[in-house]
Amino acid sequence: MSLETYKHDMLRCTRCSYCKWIPFENFRQSDFIKGCPSVAKYHWHAYSAGGKFNIALSFLEGRIPYSEPFLNAVYQCQMDGSCDVSCKSVQDIEPLQLMQELRMRCVEDGQVIPAHTPMIDCLRKEDNMMQRLKADRGKWAKSLDVKDLTKEEAEVYFHAGCKYSFDEGLGHVARDGLTLLREARVDVGIMGQAEMCCGGRAYELGYGGELAKYASRHKKALEKAGVKTIVTPCSHCYQTMKVLYDKVGQKLGMEVLHITEYLDRLIREGKIKLRKPVPLTVTYHDPCHLGRLAEPWVHWNGKETKVLGQMIVHDPPKKFRRGANGVYDVPRNILNSLPGLKFVEMYRIRASAWCCGSGGGVKEAYPEFAIWTAKDRIREAKSIGAEAILSACPYCTQNFKDTIKETGEKLKVFDVIELVQQSI
Amino acid sequence: MELTEREYKALEDIVGVEYISKDLAIRDTYNQVWGNKLVFGEKWSPRPVAVLLPGNTEEIQAIVKVCNRYGIQFKPFSSGFEITAIGLASEKGIMLDLKRMDRILEIDVKNMHAVVEPYVSVHRLQLEVAKYGLYYGAVAAGPSAGVIASSCCHAGSGQTNVFAGAIERNVLGAEWVLPTGEIIKLGTAASGDGWFSADGPGMSLRGVLRGHCGANGGHGVITKASVKLYPWYGPSELERSGEIPALRAVKKVPDQYKVFVISFPTQDNGFDALAEIGKAEIAYSDYQIPLPPGGNLCEGNDEMWENMQKLDPAAAKMFATMVIVILGANSSREMEYREKYLLKILEKFGGILLPPLNDPMVHAGMFDASMFSFGSVRHVFRLTSDFFINPCADGSEGLCKNLHKAAKEVMGPYWSNGTILQVGSAIFHPVYENYTVGSHHEDMYMYDPYDPDSLEGTRELIGKTVDPNGKFRRLCVPCLGGGLQFEPVNHIHETWGSIYDNYDVWQRQIKAALDPNNVADWGCYIPPVYP
Amino acid sequence: MTEEKKLKEIVGAGNFSHEQAILGEYSEDLSFVPKVRPRYVVKPGNAEQVQKIVAWANETLTPLIPVSSGPPHFRGDTVPNEGGAVIVDLSRMKKILRVDSFNKLAMVEPGVTFAELQSELTKAGLYAYMPLCPRNSKSVIGSMLEREPITMPAHHWDCTDPMLCAEIVFGTGDKLRGGEAAGPDTIEEQWELGKAQMTPMGLGQFNEHRLISGAQGTIGIVTWSTLKCRFLSKMNRTFLVPSEQIEPLIDLSYKLLRIRLGDHLFLLNGLNLACLLAKTPDRIEELRAILPPWALIVSFEGYGELPEDKVRYQEADFIDMAQSCQIEPKTTLSGVNADEFAVILSRPSVEPYWKLRLKGGCNDIFFLTTLDKIPVFVSAISRLMYTHRYPVESMGVYIQPVVQGTSCHCEFNLYHDPAKKNELDNIRWMVNEGSRDLAKQGGFFSRPYGAWADFAYTGAAEAVAMQRKMKKIFDPKGILNPGKLCL
């Protein structure tokens, strides 16, 4: 794939601007109808997916050089995919894929964001994006009696992810998740210090090579450990291992599940019993990487053709990923199973969820934009009377916590795992 | 051409450094819209020299004054989703992106009007006023269309015009920055006593604001407008089902509404029935549209094609003369009466309700498509990439019938040779205001601007429809009174004005009077003097 | 050639007058505008003659005052502001050019009155939308151009309704047929093509029809117009809803307007109702004494394919609605039969004109506002009357919702004996000065006749500037009714 691959889409973008909103069919409350944080904050059309189509086309045609506004439009974007869902509600073109290629082209041409460079350098040296030493990885699982997959085999590999591995404030969530599996007698192991980044976040920043590298390394290591199922509490890793590896032709030959999927399974099998009430009014924030971005990859190799004179179809038919097949119901099932919990939905949910603000390298490079984005989500949660906002991704929960700390808003933040743990 | 440092700084001083840009990347996102290839020969229309994001009326006024001082042309727009929205006639033109002006300022529930800023979309307003049992009419361009853009600045019709008024006639007030920098408020808006009438004192200056079409920014910037609202019989929130937005529709048509998808034996029967249904004063929605064979709810083109192939040819033909009628009623008695009347009309004109077109899922989709114009983008753009709608007119059924007849003759060869999408009769035809001021009629054609044959064929076809000596000469000024075109390229006003009572002579004088320095871009309006 | 000769050549000697008696009739009216005698009166018979008159007026810089209705005139708009004017009396242009039953419209010349039109419309199963019992001599086109409100708000989609397309001779002498009426063909050729001169939404990117509406003849002279008509009622049901206070009737009106239930819909005070029902002062006073202070008049007209069904369901829904407001609509009120009133509503006023029946004289104050503000204005004018010793009981009130209830026409009819100078002085003050107070309280004098033009444009300097620009375009030499509006 290259930027040129999407020239067809660039030409066909009509400037309908649906990419700026959640799909109109999903509008419920007029205060909460925006979909794209970038254009909502910065206003320039360049910040929308439509604008990126325009920029990419002009760039390909030699009409515009790189510039700071060009790069701001490219990188001040969480790559959350809301635009993609909205655009594809009315068109058969691929905005998010185009934006990914555009980033990769920028990186290829050396047009990178200084704030991202240390993350990538660290990744290349220390196998993590957190700018921490590889040697410190695995400390989150200290004194947990669990299989070490560098030495033993297990059916299930619990992949904590860089964020949970190194963030002391969040590590307990990974511990809780793993403990739940162990207590349910799941044959589970971890890689400990040998755990490595999935490569997904780097890919999202435009560093395409890292993804393939980590896909290959994971495949090798996990096959060797006899793993049948990967379980991760990190939505980003989930999406990377399930979808992105497949995209780049490195599909892992094993089941990839988010921990909520596995917990849901265990709850339904009776292996986890939710007994204690959790008396709280909560709302659930769909992480982008668990929701719309986690829709399985669809390979297609064909050509565009025309019928009825000018109607554009594909041969063979092309199944577009329109965001419907992400993981939406499973976390909700879990929440609805928690005794005493009152669950209220926000207005922008499922494939139309407003991003937490953290993705796409924004948290690192444009922290005030990340906070700005989260503020709107918190406002939305408060507007429906929630006492707590739940998510299933460490990046989401961290950003919400950071924002609440800054604003002093009274809203609790939890991961789904934490409430399950409370109810055991 | 570029702005000088001084010119740029003068503008920057008004909006702040954050809200102006002369960067090429930014500028090239304000000159690419559907239809450009047709008009300009490439995806890009002339590049603006700068783009600004003004935040309020006063900033716009100040910008306009700077433009007058330095001879810079300006063009305002909201969603920018129209071939006339961002095309510049000038080499030294700036774009005014009104995205930051997005407030709903007032909803007067009792007196049924709302006051909005330019970036308020139709569906956002619909959502808001539904809470109060009110409705703003759908615009066929889709839910993202700007309320001010459609009612004041451009043109358009909509699926519910029969009940919710012709869009041009729903303006009850406006605030308008003139090209001289003066600010005018029409009617009661000037007095501060409410925004309920835009007409007077004396002559109605709504007559300058717009005609068949608006000025597309050619005579200033409309910064606020008051629009008429209508009764809404449904709930304040509608439940929809379906994960994929393209397949989402109301779970069930609300009890206070009923949907009818009607097939007629001939097109003329259909036209006559549309008018009769209008005159019966029973309909909430009353229009003809080519339902995409294969259903109005299809995920993508491939799925649609698959569905279409499953249809037998006889069934496919049903879609050609299909009329959508939605009845809305405040009471069960009212609904009973309206339905009884409708069925009587169907009987008179041979209208039938074919089961495949009238199943609950089709009805649900048509309800959304009619009330909120969901799906319009997918139907006219996704199929082939682009579309155009000339011939089009607002007029009596007789005019519309003749227009369609001429359109069919002219378009026929282009359907046959595959230049344009072969759906047969691609009519959009909503009735206005209980058929008391006529109807709107469009013969749409979908084409691919990046297929050379399609592009050339379409150009040739359009050429025939805008030929002042062609089949359409006696029918109406093309492109909705000249407003849906780019005058420097298409010259509609220049070539048609003298045939149509020299309207262009007056319009040019209006332009000259309002814009002595010609700073409001005239590309989609009219120049004071033809170049 | 002398001017007189020239004009006679244009209109014919029999249609030209400079007799003092005739000139006197046009030099004043029942308003309080200053008396100014015109120089000539001409009565053109067709558009070509009108164009020639206008061309002549441009050459000679002669003010032209277009008049289409017959006397008595009330507004002052047909009295010249300047000396040397020529009255262009269009009453001779009386053709009903077309009645189109499919499109429910008629095409008329300016001299056609409602009574004349209605007799033709009836044959085609149609009915004219009328203002409230217009005088017999009222021109249909005149009424529409003045934006006089019709009595059926649900049918009133826009302020220019029921006017559709018009042929206009501008002050330059150029002619334009607006909206759907324009084109290379004659009107007859257009009819053959199926065009009906129906859609008025402007020709290009300006709307010529709106510029001539409310313009008091300052922009152009209309030589024909199409207008919307409604189906002739096969039956109807009319209700008179009484109330001691106006507020409950306003609430009920809002409910009706919200769902567009009802055809005729307006409010009157008891005096006005009496003036419409009775023909003599004594009878009016008798009736007024027994009628309620306020009445809402609502009718449900039966037309179309299911007239009985329509009336039946609408009446039933209305009764339910009224009951929920604890209001009781009546079909007979104080001995007045609503059906009898419906007949009165269905035609122009029989002589004497209803507004002149009580005392022989009447001056109106009217403006636009919203229904919820009516009580404020009723109080305000009552106070004004009290301070100026005008008997409130001699004031009629007529509230007409317009544009489907988004606003309303508020009209106060000040009845007086024109022979009594002190009464007249009071009325003059009320109309010229008192109304200024009402404007300050938010009354929108959208039709600024006479002295109202002095304050109607307050706060609207930009509108003034734009109207003057339009005047300069369409009437550069300022020959059409100069001095009116802000021009």
Residue B281 contacts C, CB cutoff 8 Å: yes
Nearest CA in chain C to B506: C473
Q: Are residues B315 and B407 in the same domain?
A: no
Minimum CA–CA partner of B306 in chain A: A317
Neighbour-count burial for A57-94, b at 16+ CB within 10 Å, e otherwise: bbbbeebbeeeebbbbbbbbbbbbbbbbbbbbbbbbbb
Confidence of residue C306 (pLDDT cuts 50, 70, 90): very high
Candidates B184, B185, B203, B487: best to mutate against C (most CBs of C within 10 A) is: B203
Are B97 and A44 an interchain contact pair (Cβ–Cβ within 8 Å)? yes
Please give the backbone phi and psi of residue B374, each rounded to the nearest 5 degrees, phi first: -65, 140
Q: What's the half-sphere exposure (Cβ side, CA atoms, 13 Å) at B91?
A: 2
Select from B32, B81, B418 the Cβ nearest to the Cβ of A17.
B81
Question: pLDDT at position B311, please?
Answer: 78
**Average pLDDT over chain A, rounded to an integer:** 96
Portion 231-270 of B in contact with C at CB < 8 A? 231
Q: How many CB atoms lie within 10 A of CB A226?
A: 14
Size of interface B-C (CB pairs under 8 A): 343
**Dist. CA C19–CA C39, nearest whole Å:** 9
Min Cα separation B129/chain A (Å): 10
The tens digit of pLDDT for each residue in A40-71 reads 999 999 999 999 999 999 999 999 999 999 99
Dihedral angle of Cα A57, A58, A59, A61, to the nearest 10 degrees: 90
A350 touches chain B (CB under 8 A): yes
- Nearest-angstrom CA–CA distance, A30 and C459: 34
Q: Percentage of chain C surpassing pLDDT 90?
A: 94
Class of the domain covering A115-268? alpha beta
- Buried b / exposed e along C67-84 (16+ C-beta atoms within 10 A): bbbbeebbbbbbbbbeee
- Which CATH number does the domain housing residue B66 bear? 3.30.43.10
Cβ pair B191:C458 closer than 8 A: yes
Q: Closest by alpha carbon to B322, among B259, B409, B240, B234?
A: B259
pLDDT of residue C22: 95
Indicate yes or no: CB of C313 within 8 angstroms of CB of B482: no
Q: Which residue in C has a C-alpha nearest to residue B154's C-alpha?
A: C205
SS3 category, C408: strand
CB-based contact (8 Å) between B396 and chain C?
Answer: yes
**What is the DSSP-derived secondary structure letter of residue B392?**
E
The pLDDT, as a whole number, for residue B425 is 64
pLDDT, position B293: 57
ipTM: 0.97
CB C252 within 8 A of CB C269: no
Residue C276 confidence (pLDDT) = 97
Res B377: pLDDT: 87
> How far, in Å, CA of B436 to CA of A216, rounded?
70
Percentage of residues in chain A with pLDDT exceeding 90?
96
Do B15 and B69 lie in a common domain?
yes
Instruction: Please indicate whether, in this complex, the C-beta atoms of B25 and A320 are within 8 angstroms of each other.
Output: no
Q: Does A372 touch chain B (CB under 8 A)?
A: no
Residues B244, B164 share a domain: no
Nearest chain B residue to A317, by CA: B302
Chain B interface includes C442 (CB < 8 A): yes
Burial A102-127 (b: 16+ CB within 10 A, else e): bbbbbbbeebbbebbeebbebbeebb
Quote the pLDDT of residue B319.
66
pLDDT, tens only, A306-340: 998 999 999 999 999 999 999 999 999 999 999 99
Burial (CB count <10 Å: 0-12, 13-18, 19+), residue A300? exposed
Q: Do B360 and B274 reside in the same domain of the chain?
A: yes
Interchain pair B34, A33: CB under 8 A? no
Position B459 in a domain? yes
Together in a domain, B244 and B365:
yes
User: How buried is residue B416: exposed, middle or buried, by Cβ count under 10 Å (0-12/13-18/19+)?
Assistant: exposed
Look at residue B531 and tell me if it is in a domain: no
C-beta of residue A326 within 8 angstroms of C-beta of residue A351: yes
Query: Is residue B358 a part of any domain in this protein?
Result: yes
Query: Which among A73, A86, A309 has CB closest to B415?
Result: A309
Contacts of B25 in chain A (CB under 8 A): 46, 55, 58-59, 64, 67, 69-70, 73
- Chain A (50-69) residues lying within 8 Å, Cβ to Cβ, of chain B: 50-51, 53-55, 57-59, 63-65, 67-69
User: Is A70 at the interface with chain B, CB within 8 A?
Assistant: yes
pTM to 2 decimals?
0.97
Interval C399-444: pLDDT, tens: 999 999 999 999 999 999 989 988 888 899 999 999 999 999 999 9
User: Could you tell me if A17 lies within 8 Å of chain B, comparing CB atoms?
Assistant: yes
Nearest Cα of chain B lies from the Cα of C15 at a distance, in angstroms, of 29
Q: Examine the domain organization and report whether B138 and B266 are in the same domain.
A: no
Looking up residue B266, the CATH number of its domain turns out to be 3.30.70.3450
Residues of chain B falling short of pLDDT 50: none
pLDDT of residue C408: 98
Do residue B194 and residue B131 come from a single domain?
Answer: yes
- Nearest neighbour of B305 by CB, restricted to A24, A69, A313: A313
Whether pLDDT at A274 is above 80 = yes
The tally of domains found in chain B comes to: 4
Domain membership of residue B209 (yes or no) is: yes
Residue span of the structural domain in which B15 resides: 5-97
C254-264: pLDDT as tens digits: 999 999 999 99
The answer to whether A311 contacts B374, with C-beta atoms less than 8 Å apart, is no
CB contact (8 A) between residue C196 and residue B203 = no
B437 and C459 within 8 Å at the Cβ level: the answer is no
pLDDT digits (tens, 9 = 90+) for A61-105: 999 999 999 999 999 999 999 999 999 999 999 999 999 999 999
Q: Which of B350, B378, B406 corresponds to the end of one domain? A: B378
Closest CA to A417 of A396, A399, A402: A396
Q: Which of B43, B123, B382 lies at the smallest CB-CB distance from A24? A: B123
Give the gap in angstroms from C-alpha A84 to the nearest C-alpha of chain B.
12
- Put simply, the answer to whether B378 touches A89 (Cβ < 8 Å) is yes
CATH no. for residue B133?
3.30.465.10
**Residue B24 distance to chain A (closest CA, Å):** 6
Among residues A207, A282, A276, A275, the alpha carbon closest in space to that of A244 is found at: A207
Query: Does the residue B291 lie in any domain?
Result: yes
Per-residue pLDDT, B85 = 84
What confidence score (pLDDT) does residue B424 get? 62
Same domain, B84 and B122: no
Residues 6 or more apart whose Cβ sits within 8 Å of residue A379: none
Chains B and A are in contact, defined as 3 or more C-beta pairs closer than 8 angstroms = yes
The CA–CA distances, whole Å, from C185 to C49, C181, C189 equal: 20, 9, 6
**Taking the mean position of all CA atoms in its chain, how far away is CA B357?**
26
Domain assignment present for residue B510? The answer is no
Q: Is B290 found in the same domain as B203?
A: no
Q: How far apart are CA B395 and CA C198, in angstroms?
A: 6
Which CA distances in Å does B145 have to A285, B77, B161, B494, B505? 30, 11, 15, 29, 31
What average pLDDT does range A262-289 have in this prediction?
96
Whether B138 and B119 have beta carbons less than 8 Å apart is answered as no
Q: Please report whether residue B262 resides in a domain.
A: yes
Is the pLDDT at C389 greater than 90, yes or no?
no
Measured distance CA(A86)–CA(A351) in Å, rounded: 9
Q: Report if residue B521 sits inside a domain.
A: no
For A273-291+326-424, the fitting CATH number among 1.10.1040.10, 3.10.20.740, 2.30.110.10, 3.40.50.11810 is: 3.40.50.11810
Q: Is the Cβ pair B53, A43 closer than 8 Å? A: yes
Q: In terms of domains, do B253 and B372 share one?
A: yes
Q: 3-class SS at B402?
A: helix
Chain A residues near residue B368 by CB distance under 8 angstroms? 25
Which of A375-389, C206-220, C381-395 shows the lowest per-residue confidence on average (mean pLDDT)? C381-395
Q: Are B333 and B369 in a shared domain?
A: yes
Per-residue confidence at C211, pLDDT binned at 50, 70, 90? very high
Is A353 within 8 Å of chain B by CB? no
Contact flag B111-C215 (C-beta cutoff 8 Å)? no
Please tell me the predicted confidence (pLDDT) of residue B148.
97
| Together in a domain, B109 and B224 | yes
Digit-coded pLDDT (tens) for C127-182: 999 999 999 999 999 999 999 999 999 999 999 999 999 999 999 999 999 999 99
